[in-house]
Amino acid sequence: PPSIVVLSPNLTTCHRSLSDADVPVYCCPPKRESEEPFIDFQFPDTSIPVRVRKPAHLADADYIAKYNKAIAIMKSLPYSDPRSWLRQANMHCIYCTGAYNQQHSNSLLKIHRSWMFFPWHRMMIYFHERILGSLIGDENFALPFWNWDAPEGMFIPDMYTNGSFVDTQRDSSHLPPQVADINYDYVESGLGTEDQIATNVAFMYNQMVSGAKKTELFMGCSYKAGEDGFCDGPGTIELAPHNALHTWVGSNLNPERENLGAFYSAARDPVFYAHHSNIDRLWEAWKGLRNYKPEIVDPEWLDSYFFFHNEKSQLVRIKIRDVLDITKLRYTYEKVENVWLNARP
Ligand code: C2O
């Protein structure tokens, strides 16, 4: 078969990039990753129990203490360590602001606003979760998910207001118990709690069901290698609640609503990982609604690959096809009721 060119980064190219407001940022590792050997991704050992991601608003004290400690250790690691907090956060900056050129062209690689959105973020939090677990010697550690699509979860989970989970760069008027506007667009909705919740649930139905019947509407449009490969068409969930909640949480006093509100800084806020855990869960939920039929079979998507460091600090090359079955990745989501499923207008 003719060999195809897939989207992938050229690791020798990490360079200064631009924030959403075109301010130069630099997120590259201290030493070029291209000088490191890499390994190909392997599925985790099936002898290790499946990690179960649970809703953050129901987290118990033991879990919070454990996770708090893992973050504290991660934050204490030096920047030279790819497992360190800022290096982890900068992975998001690198891939989301275009710090790498593509492997086969000089175009910048930026994974948002396309069909790269779900799989790339799945990879990022998969490695992050395993690193956290290994730092506290817990092979069972699982990230929580911010269950903002359920009425009880539509607030910044309380755990994020204490200890290692605090980020001072958040909009102080949106801290709990303020109910979230999951379709926030820089303007306060002015709705009371009950009305906001009802609006959110109806909106979820649209983003997950009525507005997401075609694959491209949910997954985002194609992003292929080369100058003209980028379509710039985000899926329903990526636009909102995803983007909307990034903006809603980030500080209104910062120019780009850092931290959560800007690509380059978003993953510095611990709530980022719970936000993306829920996004990832909703991808599974959407797949479930269509009986797990493969969402995209185009090899240019399936074979696209990216690089992350694992819990042993090894550089790993991972393809999209590697992350389409979470059973093989050995994690799952605790079952919660998706109330929006019954919110047909
Ligand atoms: Cu890469 Cu939530 O964004």
pLDDT surpasses 90 at 119: yes
Q: Is ligand 1 within 6 A of the CB of residue 242?
A: yes
Kindly report, residue by residue over 276-297, the tens digit of the pLDDT.
Answer: 999 999 999 999 999 999 999 9
Specify the pLDDT at position 109: 97
Give dist(CA 265, CA 220) in Å, integer: 23
* Residues belonging to the active site: 92, 112, 121, 242, 246, 263, 276
C-beta separation of 17 from 27 below 8 A? yes
Kindly report, residue by residue over 231-289, the tens digit of the pLDDT.
Answer: 999 999 999 999 999 999 999 999 999 999 999 999 999 999 999 999 999 999 999 99
What mean pLDDT do residues 134-142 have?
Answer: 97
Q: Which two three-digit tokens encode residue 86?
A: 């800022």
Q: Is ligand 1 within 6 A of the CB of residue 96?
A: yes
Percent of the chain with pLDDT over 70: 99
pLDDT surpasses 90 at 144: yes
Specify the pLDDT at position 242: 98
Kindly report, residue by residue over 12-46, the tens digit of the pLDDT.
Answer: 999 999 999 999 999 999 988 888 999 999 999 99
Confidence category of residue 344, pLDDT binned at 50, 70, 90? confident
Nearest alpha carbon to residue 21 among 269, 254, 270: 254
Specify the pLDDT at position 2: 62
Specify the pLDDT at position 167: 98
Q: Which two three-digit tokens encode residue 24?
A: 């130069």
Q: Is ligand 1 within 6 A of the CB of residue 113?
A: no
Instruction: Please provide the average confidence, as pLDDT, over all residues in the chain.
Output: 97
Closest C-alpha residue for ligand 1 atom 3: 263
Distance 263 CA to ligand 1 centre (A): 7
The H-assigned helical ranges of the chain are 61-76, 85-97, 117-135, 193-205, 215-219, 236-237, 244-249, 271-289, 299-302, 326-329
What mean pLDDT do residues 318-326 have?
Answer: 98
pTM of the full predicted structure?
A: 0.98
Specify the pLDDT at position 33: 82
Kindly report, residue by residue over 295-309, the tens digit of the pLDDT.
Answer: 999 999 999 999 999
* ipTM exceeds 0.90, yes or no: yes
Kindly report, residue by residue over 68-84, the tens digit of the pLDDT.
Answer: 999 999 999 999 999 99
In terms of C-beta distances under 8 Å and separation of at least 24 residues, what long-range contacts does 101-105 make, across chains too? Answer: 101/9, 101/10, 101/13, 101/15, 102/7, 102/8, 102/9, 102/10, 102/225, 102/226, 103/7, 103/8, 103/9, 103/10, 103/225, 104/5, 104/8, 104/225, 104/226, 105/225, 105/226, 105/227
